[in-house]
Each structure stands twice: as structure tokens, then as C-alpha cells.
Structure 1
Amino acid sequence: MIVAHLPAGYIVSTLLFHRFEKYGASRLIFLRAGLLGSIAPDLDMIYFYGFDHRAHPHHSYFSHFPSVWLLLLTLAILCFQHCKQKKLALLALIFTGNGMLHMLLDYISTNIYWLAPFVNRPFALITVPSVYQDWWLNFLLHRSFALEILIVLWATCLWCRRRLARHELVE
């Protein structure tokens, strides 16, 4: 996935907010936590370009291990279930849930190390062939990019519908 992580996080966070708003988190804070979680695994790109000099695929870093995100998600669920103060646990829940969504979306067309750190073997649902010299062109011109476009359109529709509803309330 190239462009759909943030829109997918927006979709999930927007659709789930009404279910959890009774726990005290504002919509804006809930949305920010969800959006940050949806791109958090890719923050390893700072290390990838700045320190590792692209020596290893950035999906081989621990920040892209589904086991890490499943552990964090499990801890967030347990905290949410057992803590009296639910607001912080709720924000951790939407953050880690969208981090796990990032893993699922990446799995569609790129390698994800599902069994890491125990097994160092990547898995991908679809292999995007390397036809063009620029890596991003291979993804942009592959049929799997249509799913990204659909996710972006869905998020745009949700955003426009919300703005329109808020505008109608003002008038």
C-alpha cells in the first residue's frame, strides 16, 4: 500500500467513534490516535533512509512485525476491559487496531513477516512484478492499486458526508 493507510485509518476511526464516544474521548483525539496508528508502522522509514541506508527491507523491521502489533492490540484490549479509566485505553485500542490494519493492508501487495521474530520468511497475498525501474511505478500501475483508489474514494465520501452534515446543522 502506498496511499491508502491514512484513508483506511480514517474510515475505521470514523465508523467506530460513535460506538466508543461514551468513554470520554473527543472525536478529534480519537481520530488523531487512529490516524497515527494507521501510519505508525511506516515511521520506520526514518531509520530505513536515515540510518540503515536501505540495506534491509523496511518490512523486516520489528515495527512491521504483526506479532508486535497483535501483542500491543491484546494489551490495549485487556486494559480497556479491566481499567476503570477507559479513555487512554480506548485511544491505545484505536491506535493499535489501525496499526494492525496497516499490516493487513501491506500484506495484500507487499511482503509481511507474519511469523517474525520466530521465522524470518516474508509472505504476500499478491506479488507485484518489478517491471519498471522506479519501485513505486510497479505498484501504481498494478491492478492491486485499484483497491487503494477505492479506499481513498470511500474515505473521501465519508469526509464529504460529514462536512455536509455539519454544514447543514449550522444553517
Structure 2
Amino acid sequence: MNPEVIDHITPMDTDSEEVHEESKGVRDAGFDKIIGYIEDLLMESEFQELQQKFLENYWHIFGPEEENKLIYMEIFNQYNQEIENYIVKQLKKSVPNFSIHVLLDQLNERRPELDGEVFEVLATLTDFLSFKEMILDYKAVKEGKVEDFSAGISITSIKSTSSERDEPTG
């Protein structure tokens, strides 16, 4: 190959790598933004009620045995559909071009590096064993085998309200 051609190709490859890194950064920012929206959705009472209702309807069917019954997969598919539809419907309000399939592909690509409750919930949509574990954890609480700490947890803002700032202390 002509050395002039080689000299010309090398900078182009470098530029290509820079463009790739830039597009990767844009993808990462988009992914992070979507995850932020999903975190907000998971905190909303509407989502909590949807998931709670589902768990309440089906916890008694599941058992800890390794062999899974056919109905488990039917319930998993129903859960997947209900939760996925809810997430897509809510996200499309903020991100009109949102695609659950793109998100699920990104989650699978990044699985080893993902940590946190939002990713655990999302895993229940794609991974049957994560879903079953969630159901069995709920069942253990319902049967009194473990303490339910969720009733004692409350989330409050660390910002004070204007009336609290105006009140004299002491």
C-alpha cells in the first residue's frame, strides 16, 4: 500500500474513534437520563400500588423449589407486560421517542456494571430468576418469616420549608 494512503488513513481512524467516543458519551447520557426518569417512576405511589397489587395477587402461588411450574412463567409474562406497559406509558410523556427495547438492550450490555434498586426492579422484567426471587421475598414477609421494614421507612426532603425557616428557634 502507498505510504501516502497509510498516512491519510491513520488520522481518519483516530477521528472515527473520537466520533465513536462522543456518540458513546451521548448514549451514556441518554441512558442515565432514562434511568433517572425510571427512578422517579419507581418512587411514585401509582407504581408502588401496581406492583403491590400484583405481588398480593400471586405471592401464594410461588414456592422455593428449584423446578418451576408452568404457571410461574405465565405470571412472569403478565408482570412483565403490566410493568413494562406502565413504564413505557409514563416515560413517553417525558421522552416521546423512548423505546423499551433499546433500554433493555442497553441494560443487558451493561449488566455487570449496574448496581442499585432501580436495576433490581428492571431485572425483574427481563430475568425470571430475579422476578421469582422478588415474589419469594414478598412471600417470606407475608408469612412472617422475615420482618417487613417497609412500613417504617419514610422519605422526606432535607430542605426546610419556608415556614420552618421563618420560625424562631429556642
* TM-score under structure 1 length normalisation: 0.30
The structure richer in helix per residue is 2
* TM-score under structure 2 length normalisation: 0.30
Q: Looking at CA atoms only, which structure, 1 or 2, has the larger radius of gyration?
A: 2
